[in-house]
Structure 1
Amino acid sequence: MQVIIAGSPGEVASLAADRIERLLARHKAAVLGLATGSTPIALYQELIARYHRNQLSFREVTTFNLDEYVGLAPEHPQSYRTFMQRQLFDRIDIDPRNTHIPNGQHCPTEEAAAYETRIRSLGGIDLQVLGLGRNGHIGFNEPCSSLHSRTRIKTLAEATVRDNSRFFEPGEFMPKLAITMGIATILEARQILLLATGSAKAEAVRTMVEGPLSASCPASALQQHPNTLVIVDSEAGSQLSQCEYHRRVKIETDRLMDAERSRP
């Protein structure tokens, strides 16, 4: 696990977009795993800007989102399908047929199994984007989720329901269940890119990076992945005990990559 401590949320988004741009430069038909929530929005805005500058094309890209609420139609204003259309898909050149999000109105158990099959049929995910919940969840894998879990139905923790309630009108149906990729599914991605910003995520970042591998912090499972990049801003990284070391790692890694790119 490499940790980069960026100076601002904008730099977090830019560094994450750099990683995706490098992947698409060598693999135009990459399979991307995408996340919803407030943190990835700045990344999606940066990708859209690069698309409009002709730096990126998503014409051959396939995407799989992490999760979707159970009980919301895809066209519901608060569904993750609507979120992704609004924040990214409608603003780039991706083929709509190549964008996959669980359908929360289908039989959830059957939909979860079918989603796993679709991911495998396309050879798996090349790069998975993740956010981080304040309680350490990734996707909707709440604390105490099995580290060997696959795509399935999860009951949302009360803290998650409270955090997400701001997106719903008073009295509006608020889902308590979701279909989510499991932790084992996430760990099968060839690269993982986790983003976190703001002081509210600082404790979760510290526990994920420096704490024990534990189901009480699902994101700690990323310690087992051979190619995970964690990009946080200074506030989200404020509780890390090895900040100077993480900065040194970035400097030396950048030097190594520059040297490799300059070789004939």
Structure 2
Amino acid sequence: MNILVMKNKEEASKKAFDLLLADINNGAKVLGLATGSSPVGLYDQIVSSSLDCSQLISINLDEYVGIKPTNPQSYHFFMQQHLFSQKPFAKSFIPDGSNLDADYVTTRYNQILTAHPIDTQILGIGNNGHIGFNEPGTPFDIQTHKVRLTSATIKANSRFFTSSNDVPHAAYTMGIGSIMKAKHIILLAFGEQKADAIAATVNGKITTAVPASVLQRHPNVTILVDQQAAQKL
């Protein structure tokens, strides 16, 4: 693991963009993308840059189940708002949360991942150490699957909704096994609320109780944190 402690979120986002651009210049064509607050600064950097994304493919980590792409809380909507409307990609894949046939959606997404192996994967991390929507206890070898969200994740994500009652209780997510196939993983974490998860990810034992701890086994991981998220390292 390469741990980079930056002054603040803005500096970390700039560094993440530099790393991503270097990967693209070295031939990366398929980007694994994340949602939530952590990658927004990176997407702002992409949008304000001269980077041409029209020859790139994006594959998002996850999507809520039972929510339409046009819903402002969907990750389809999030990606359009923060990136795709301003920097179109050649192809962009996001799980279809409006399709309740979990077997079809997950099988189809695994086929997409097989056809388009991810070069660079962007990750955030949950306060409980989840990556994507892979909650504590998720097997490390699992591929794309439907997951029921924990109460902690629902509470954490309720800030994006009118109330916690409006947060979907299930999601489709790339599995940990899928994530680990990426050639380069860039994880972003900001704020003191992420300090415990980062410390457990970097210095703790590898355990399904902290899903992100499996990243210790990956040969090419960059973790970008601000000083608050790094305070327990």
Describe the shift of the 1:171–1:212 C-alpha distance in structure 2 as closer, same or farther (beyond 3 A). Answer: closer
User: Is the 8 Å Cα contact of residues 195 and 232 (structure 1) preserved in structure 2?
Assistant: yes
Residue in structure 2 matched with residue 248 of structure 1 by the alignment: none
| Mapped pair 1:66 → 2:77 | no
Describe the shift of the 1:171–1:213 C-alpha distance in structure 2 as closer, same or farther (beyond 3 A). Answer: closer
Gaps of 5+ in 1: 241-264
Q: Quote how far apart the aligned CAs of 1:171 are.
A: 8.2
Length-normalised TM-score, structure 2: 0.97
Please give the residue correspondences for 1:143-158 in structure 2 after superposition, counting only pairs within 5 Å. Answer: 143-158=136-151
Residue in structure 2 matched with residue 41 of structure 1 by the alignment: 40
Residue in structure 1 matched with residue 102 of structure 2 by the alignment: 108
**Structure of greater Rg:** 1
User: Is the 8 Å Cα contact of residues 70 and 108 (structure 1) preserved in structure 2?
Assistant: no
The 4+ residue runs of structure 1 with deviation greater than 6 A are none
Length-normalised TM-score, structure 1: 0.86
Gaps of 5+ in 2: none
Describe the shift of the 1:12–1:108 C-alpha distance in structure 2 as closer, same or farther (beyond 3 A). Answer: same
Residue in structure 1 matched with residue 75 of structure 2 by the alignment: 80
**CA distance, structure 1, for counterparts of residue 103 and residue 76 of structure 2:** 19
Residue in structure 2 matched with residue 203 of structure 1 by the alignment: 196
User: Is the 8 Å Cα contact of residues 141 and 154 (structure 1) preserved in structure 2?
Assistant: yes
**CA distance, structure 2, for counterparts of residue 136 and residue 113 of structure 1:** 26
**CA distance, structure 2, for counterparts of residue 176 and residue 40 of structure 1:** 23
Q: Give, as a single letter, the amino acid of the residue that structure 2 aligns with 1:112.
A: T
String of CA shifts for 1:58-87, please: whole Å, max 9, x gaps.
010000000000000111110000000001
Please give the residue correspondences for 1:1-264 in structure 2 after superposition, counting only pairs within 5 Å. Answer: 1-27=1-27, 30-50=29-49, 54=50, 56-95=51-90, 98-106=91-99, 107-122=101-116, 124-170=117-163, 173-240=166-233
Residue in structure 2 matched with residue 245 of structure 1 by the alignment: none
Q: Quote how far apart the aligned CAs of 1:170 are.
A: 3.9
String of CA shifts for 1:4-55, please: whole Å, max 9, x gaps.
111111111001000111112232x6100000000110110011111xxx2x
Q: Identical aligned pairs, as a percentage?
A: 40
User: Is the 8 Å Cα contact of residues 156 and 177 (structure 1) preserved in structure 2?
Assistant: yes
| RMSD of Structure 2 on Structure 1 (CA) | 1.2
Aligned to 1:88, what secondary structure does the other structure show? helix
Q: Give, as a single letter, the amino acid of the residue that structure 2 aligns with 1:49.
A: S
Describe the shift of the 1:143–1:60 C-alpha distance in structure 2 as closer, same or farther (beyond 3 A). Answer: same
**CA distance, structure 1, for counterparts of residue 97 and residue 193 of structure 2:** 29
**CA distance, structure 1, for counterparts of residue 21 and residue 140 of structure 2:** 30
Describe the shift of the 1:207–1:171 C-alpha distance in structure 2 as closer, same or farther (beyond 3 A). Answer: closer
Aligned to 2:80, what secondary structure does the other structure show? helix
Describe the shift of the 1:212–1:168 C-alpha distance in structure 2 as closer, same or farther (beyond 3 A). Answer: same
**CA distance, structure 2, for counterparts of residue 77 and residue 170 of structure 1:** 14
Aligned to 1:91, what secondary structure does the other structure show? coil
User: Is the 8 Å Cα contact of residues 102 and 179 (structure 1) preserved in structure 2?
Assistant: yes
**CA distance, structure 1, for counterparts of residue 164 and residue 208 of structure 2:** 33
Aligned to 2:132, what secondary structure does the other structure show? coil
String of CA shifts for 1:172-228, please: whole Å, max 9, x gaps.
642100000000100000110000011110000000000000000000000000001
**CA distance, structure 1, for counterparts of residue 209 and residue 175 of structure 2:** 15
Aligned residues: 232
**CA distance, structure 1, for counterparts of residue 167 and residue 225 of structure 2:** 30
